[in-house]
């Protein structure tokens, strides 16, 4: 515990049966401790449920990174267009039998996709786009979606994740996203997490 004038900072370790030890750093109000611990327990329970679901589906994650930049050569997506104009790339990968799972909630305002995005962001991208999302908010067209599915060799129960940015950065981000997606099938990775005030 670190004490200062009028403040207390507390780090808390949380683990459940079948889960991993998660360290939550930066609790400033001890009165909030129960809420954050409860949220973390719920998060781990949800992630374990997702792991069991994916195992029952015989799900898997392709390690191959596919360059999808040409799919968006005439895109109306301002975000992707701006990235490509700035010499960026669009890179993606397939998640077998993950349809509907990336969008599953693990905490209020957090989904499995958020967990994967947190990993990808460590490479320097702003986030990921995944197939459980509403593509209209990115202005990604139906024909572009069909082209993504075709290039990734997707079946109807598969999902995809894409990122955009400088090629080296995007490639690293996809590698980290692949790593976290694979972990979703088998385990809850031990982590040190900062307090999320949205939870």
Flag whether 94 is in a domain: yes
Q: pLDDT-derived band of residue 11, with 50, 70 and 90 as boundaries?
A: confident
The pLDDT tens digits for 177-188 are 999 999 999 988
Query: What's the pLDDT at 199?
Result: 36
Burial profile 148-181: b = 16 or more Cβ within 10 angstroms, e = fewer: bbebbebeeebbbbbbbbbeebbbbbbbbbbebb
State yes or no: pLDDT of 6 exceeds 50.
no
Query: What's the pLDDT at 176?
Result: 98
State yes or no: pLDDT of 172 exceeds 50.
yes
**88 close to 81: Cβ distance less than 8 angstroms:** no
Same domain, 86 and 156: yes
Same domain, 79 and 160: yes
Flag whether 193 is in a domain: no
Residue 8 structural domain: 2-56
Flag whether 149 is in a domain: yes
Return the number of other C-beta atoms located less than 10 Å from residue 111's C-beta.
20
Same domain, 15 and 100: no
* Sign of the alpha-carbon dihedral angle for 169, 170, 172, 173: positive
Same domain, 84 and 137: yes
State yes or no: pLDDT of 27 exceeds 50.
yes
State yes or no: pLDDT of 13 exceeds 90.
no
Query: What's the pLDDT at 161?
Result: 99
Same domain, 112 and 153: yes
Same domain, 90 and 172: yes
Same domain, 123 and 93: yes
Same domain, 38 and 91: no
Q: Please give the mean pLDDT across all residues of the chain.
A: 90
Flag whether 199 is in a domain: no
Same domain, 46 and 66: no
Query: What's the pLDDT at 195?
Result: 67
Same domain, 153 and 102: yes
Tokens 């040409």 sit on residue: 70
Domain count of the fold of the chain: 2
Indicate which CATH number applies to the domain containing 177.
Answer: 3.30.1360.30
The pLDDT tens digits for 50-99 are 999 999 999 999 999 999 999 999 999 999 999 999 999 999 999 999 99
Flag whether 197 is in a domain: no
Flag whether 198 is in a domain: no
């Amino acid at each position: 515990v670190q004490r200062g004038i009028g403040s207390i900072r507390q780090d808390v370790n949380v683990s459940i049966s079948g889960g991993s030890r998660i360290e939550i750093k930066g609790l400033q109000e001890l009165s909030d401790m129960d809420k954050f611990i409860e949220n973390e327990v719920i998060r781990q329970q949800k992630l374990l449920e997702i792991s069991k679901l994916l195992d029952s589906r015989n799900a898997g994650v392709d390690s191959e990174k596919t360059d999808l930049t040409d799919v968006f050569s005439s895109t109306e997506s301002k975000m992707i267009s701006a990235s490509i104009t700035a010499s960026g790339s669009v890179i993606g990968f397939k998640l077998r039998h993950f349809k509907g799972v990336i969008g599953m909630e693990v905490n209020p305002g957090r989904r499995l996709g958020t967990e994967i995005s947190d990993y990808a962001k460590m490479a320097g991208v702003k986030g990921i786009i995944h197939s459980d999302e509403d593509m209209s908010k990115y202005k990604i067209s139906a024909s572009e979606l069909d082209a993504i599915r075709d290039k990734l060799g997707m079946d109807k129960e598969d999902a995809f994740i894409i990122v955009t940015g400088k090629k080296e950065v995007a490639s690293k981000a996809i590698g980290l996203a692949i790593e976290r997606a694979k972990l979703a099938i088998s385990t809850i990775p031990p982590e040190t997490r900062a307090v999320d005030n949205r939870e």
